[in-house]
Chains A and B, each alone.
Chain A
Amino acid sequence: MKKFTIVMLILIGVYLALPIFATALYAFSTEWNKTILPEGLTFEWIRTLFQDTRFVEAFGRSVLLSGGAVLLSILFIVPAIFVIVLYFPSFEKWFQASVVMVYAFPGIILSVGLIRFYSGTSLPMILAVLGVYVISVLPYIYQGTRNSLRNVQGRQLMDAAELLGASKIEAFRKVLLPAVYPGLFVAALLSFSVLFGEFVLINLVVGSRFETVQIYLMSKLSTSGHIASAIVFVYIVLMGILTLVMAIVTKKAKGMTRA
């Protein structure tokens, strides 16, 4: 029975990993048409990719757009979450309702709505998308911030610091922020990686006028499979690194808050 479980697990693992592995392999292979394994390996595709200014620019745009959205979220939404969770917990239900609403709108409906609403105005559509991005990471930011505030008992830390002579601002900067920083950081990385992979909204609303990595990938799919695989490979490596960083930070933070 136990053997069976292990075999099944391995099979499932292979089933899940095979496409990724094959994609990665394809990104490094010379010819791979008539054979089971590729005929040769090369860095050619990766090099071509990074020499293509279109890709580098698209990558930069993706980072700028996702990073900018996360940054705005942290600047404007996180303080609101702090105040509500610490001092007005009875308002939290409204926050939770808006978190659910973020999930409730499918991207396609959102895009049509955005185009209808903003296309007549002078607001650049990319800014409309940015605004949606800022809001759409709300679930991750909210959960991450609230959970770490609860873990460290944020309100009590604030109270303790104030009774020791700190002002609210000092208590926030010197005590609360460092204590919840790991949770906040992980929430930000998670949000970033979700936004980095977003395709539906940006493609429908802005399309090639603001080419992100996802849109660039889309355009390459029809021209070169090798290049497309290389893009996916780079993307996976980036996500792998982000996940690893999140895991390390989370593990460290767990050790800190364990009483």
Chain B
Amino acid sequence: MSNVVLKDVHKQYQHTKVLTGIDMNIEDGEFVTLLGPSGCGKSTILRILSGLTDATGGTVMIDGKDMKNTPPKNRKVGMVFQSYALFPNMTVYENVAFGLKMHKKPVNEVAERVGRMLELVGLQEKKGAYPHELSGGQQQRVALARSLVVRPKVLLLDEPLSALDAQIRKHLQVELRTIQRELNMTMILVTHDQEEAMSVSDRIFVMNNGKIAQAGTPSEIYTQPKTEFVANFIGRYNVFSKEQLEKLFGTNIAISAHKYAIRPESIHLQSRVSSYPLRALAGDSVMNGNVIRTTFHAGDKSFTAEQLHHRASAFERGTEYQLFVEPEDVIALS
């Protein structure tokens, strides 16, 4: 339960710059997500936080204390790995008890705390099993319990759920969030799955190419993407250049920007006084849950529009439609 601060953190391997000036400020008890494509440096940030890798430059502070000369074992930072990293020659119980034994806790305290932790993750009956006898989801619960039982100040989770299938993943996301609230623990989750990030976090740091592209609450990130990268990565935003958009609307756009983003669901059929009009040819439609997504073509530019299911069949393939967009739904990107 602590706050975590990164100031201008850099990391370089021989000739490749992996992190270039990372600034993060994470509150006590906050659940934040590092979201970004593979290779953008998410794991590197976690490794630097935990002390497993040294930063090339910058400061890492936990609880207001500079971590520069604190080795991993004294940082009180827990970590859960994508591949679980359970100790193969130890039982579930021994795995979870390992950290407490390393901290020289008395036997009865170890037994009690391990027991309670196994209860929390629902694995009491499996305490005598070896890791290879468990399913992926169960193994990840053991890994979680093993990290939590030593009561770290911060828990780092490096894509802990991405090796699991969709249903178990959803279930564990909810469980993780519940446990986090219950313990009021600061957690930093790394993921490349934007839905996962949206559904569990207090705050999201979107990363690209060794930099933080944008930070904010899920709804801020979703409704006000700042860059083309965030717009593309977070939602299925349509991104236009100024010329493309002015050609499409047949009018000048007041706000001047490099690129513009329009969410698929804000392209509609009803005209209002201030609406920008556009004409486009309907292409294929795809059903996704209760949403129908249609691809439109206008000149050489394609974009998508989404409607709720009950209004479906509105867009017929090969027909030209008159569509509208509200000015406030045109988001200027930098």
Contacts and interface: CB of A to CB of B under 8 A. Distances in A.
Nearest to B96: A164
Chain A CB within 10 A, most for which of B50, B71, B81, B139: B81
Contacts of B102: 161, 164-166, 170
Contacts of B150: 164-165
Interface string A87-107: 000000000000000000000
Contacts, number: 75
Nearest to A182: B89
Contacts of A175: 87, 98
Given A256-B132, A259-B136, A163 B88 contact: no
A135 interface: no
Contacts of A156: 81, 83, 85
A178 interface: yes
Interface in A155-181: 156-157, 159-167, 170, 174-175, 178-179, 181
A258 B84 CA distance: 13
Q: Which secondary structure characterizes the binding site on chain A? A: helix
Interface residues of A, number: 24
A163 B87 CA distance: 13
14 contacts: A152-B88, A160-B85, A160-B87, A161-B98, A162-B52, A162-B72, A163-B50, A163-B52, A164-B78, A165-B103, A167-B73, A170-B102, A179-B89, A256-B88
A40 interface: no
Chain A CB within 10 A, most for which of B73, B88, B99: B88
B72 A163 contact: yes
B85 A153 contact: yes
B87 A161 contact: yes
A219 interface: no
Given A165-B99, A256-B88, A257-B88, A159 B136 contact: no
Contacts of A161: 87, 98, 102
A19 interface: no
Contact of A162 (B73, B88, B146): B73
A220 B71 CA distance: 63
A178 B89 CA distance: 7
A124 interface: no
A34 to B, nearest CB: 59
A120 interface: no
A255 interface: yes
Contacts of A160: 79, 81, 85, 87, 146
Contacts of B130: 256
Interface in A205-259: 255-259
Interface string B134-148: 001001000000110
A158 to B, nearest CB: 9
Interface string A30-59: 000000000000000000000000000000
B79 A159 contact: yes
A168 to B, nearest CB: 9
B85 A157 contact: yes
Given A161-B98, A165-B103, A256 B89 contact: yes
Given A170-B102, A259-B136, A259-B139, A153 B83 contact: yes
A165 to B, nearest CB: 4
Interface string B57-81: 0000000000000011101011101
A164 B50 CA distance: 11
A174 B84 CA distance: 18
B77 A163 contact: yes
Nearest to B78: A163
A258 B75 CA distance: 32
